[in-house]
Amino acid sequence: MCLATAYVENKGQEEEVMRDVAWIETGNDGLRLGAFLGESKLLQARIKRIDLIHNSIILEMDSE
């Protein structure tokens, strides 16, 4: 199974925030990431890049 891994980019470095991301939902309160086994995480971030070849999602945290 090829699910994505989400990373937050900060000062050129990527920090892993969630593995096995199955879905992303946008909302007024940020991005909600959901994992294959049911875990979810809300982040005050925006999507910078999605790489489908390498199964990665790069996020930038909101500065608010």
Give 11's Cβ-side CA count (13 Å radius).
Answer: 0
How far, in Å, CA of 50 to CA of 33, rounded?
Answer: 13
* pLDDT per residue rounded down to tens, the chain (64 residues): 679 999 999 988 999 999 999 999 999 999 999 999 999 999 999 999 999 999 999 999 987 5
pLDDT attached to residue 62: 87
pTM value?
Answer: 0.89
How far, in Å, CA of 20 to CA of 44, rounded?
Answer: 19
Residue numbers of the domain that contains 18: 4-61
Domain count, the chain: 1
